[in-house]
Structure 1
Amino acid sequence: MAGLQLLSEYGLRVDGRRPNELRQIRCKLGVFDQPDGSAYLEQGNTKVLAAVYGPHEIRGNKSKTLHDRAYVNCQYSMAVFSTAERKRRPRGDKKSQEMDMNLQQIFETAIRSELYPRSQIDIYLEVLQADGGNLSACVNAGTLALIDAGIPLKDYVCSCTSTLAPSQGGAPPTPMVDVNHLEETLGGPGLSVSTMTRLDSVVHLELSGTRLHLSHIDPVASKATTGCADIQAILDKAVRGHVAQSLMAREASGLGADT
Structure 2
Amino acid sequence: MAAPELLSDEGYRADGRRPAELRKVRARMGVFAQADGSAYIEQGNTKALAVVYGPHEMRGSRSKSLPDRAVVNCQYSMATFSTGERRRRPHGDRQAGELALQLKQTFEAAILTQLFPRSQIDIYVQILQADGGNYCACVNAATLAVMDAGIPMRDFVCASSAGMAEETPLADLSSPEEAASGGPGLVLALLPAAGQIALVQLSARLHQERLEAAMEAAGGACRSLHAVLDRVVRERLREVTALMGD
TM-score by length of 1: 0.92
Distance 1:113 1:47 in 2: 28
Cα deviation per residue 1:19-57 (whole Å; 9 max; x = unaligned)?
Answer: 010000000000001110000000111100000000001
2:200 matches 1:205 = yes
Q: Does the 8 Å CA contact 2:158/2:226 hold for their aligned counterparts? A: yes
Distance 2:131 2:4 in 1: 18
Distance 2:237 2:75 in 1: 27
Q: How does 1:215-226 map to 2 (within 5 A)?
A: 215-226=209-220
What is residue 73 of structure 2 aligned with on the other side?
73
Rate the CA distance shift 1:53–1:10 in 2: closer, same or farther, 3 A: same
Q: How does 1:124-143 map to 2 (within 5 A)?
A: 124-143=124-143
Q: How does 1:1-259 map to 2 (within 5 A)?
A: 5-165=5-165, 167=166, 173-187=167-181, 189-208=184-203, 210-251=204-245, 253=246
Q: Does the 8 Å CA contact 2:159/2:188 hold for their aligned counterparts? A: yes
Q: Does the 8 Å CA contact 2:41/2:48 hold for their aligned counterparts? A: yes
Q: Secondary structure at the match of 1:221?
A: helix
Report the CA distance between 1:214 and its aligned residue. 1.8
Cα deviation per residue 1:173-224 (whole Å; 9 max; x = unaligned)?
Answer: 210000011111102552000111111201100011x311122111110000
What is residue 170 of structure 1 aligned with on the other side?
none
Distance 2:76 2:61 in 1: 20
How many residue pairs get aligned? The number is: 245
Q: Secondary structure at the match of 2:6?
A: coil
Report the CA distance between 1:2 and its aligned residue. 7.3
What amino acid does structure 2 have at the position aligned with 1:23? R
> 5+ residue gaps in structure 2?
none
Rate the CA distance shift 1:61–1:18 in 2: closer, same or farther, 3 A: same
Distance 2:51 2:61 in 1: 22
Report the CA distance between 1:64 and its aligned residue. 1.8
Distance 1:6 1:198 in 2: 31
Report the CA distance between 1:3 and its aligned residue. 8.8
Report the CA distance between 1:9 and its aligned residue. 1.1
Q: Does the 8 Å CA contact 2:185/2:202 hold for their aligned counterparts? A: yes
Report the CA distance between 1:137 and its aligned residue. 0.5
Say what the alpha-carbon RMSD is for the aligned residues: 1.3
Q: Secondary structure at the match of 1:17?
A: coil
Q: Does the 8 Å CA contact 2:3/2:181 hold for their aligned counterparts? A: no
What amino acid does structure 2 have at the position aligned with 1:146? V
> 5+ residue gaps in structure 1?
168-172, 254-259
Q: Secondary structure at the match of 2:160?
A: strand
Distance 2:56 2:83 in 1: 34
Structure with higher RCO (Cα < 8 A, 6+ apart): 2
Report the CA distance between 1:60 and its aligned residue. 1.2
Q: Does the 8 Å CA contact 2:22/2:221 hold for their aligned counterparts? A: yes
TM-score by length of 2: 0.96
Distance 2:2 2:186 in 1: 24
Stretches (4+) displaced over 3 A: 1-4
What amino acid does structure 2 have at the position aligned with 1:192? V
The percent of aligned pairs where both chains have the same amino acid is: 51
What is residue 256 of structure 1 aligned with on the other side?
none
What amino acid does structure 2 have at the position aligned with 1:157? V
Look at both structures and tell me which one has the larger radius of gyration over its CA atoms: 1
Report the CA distance between 1:121 and its aligned residue. 0.2
Distance 1:54 1:101 in 2: 18
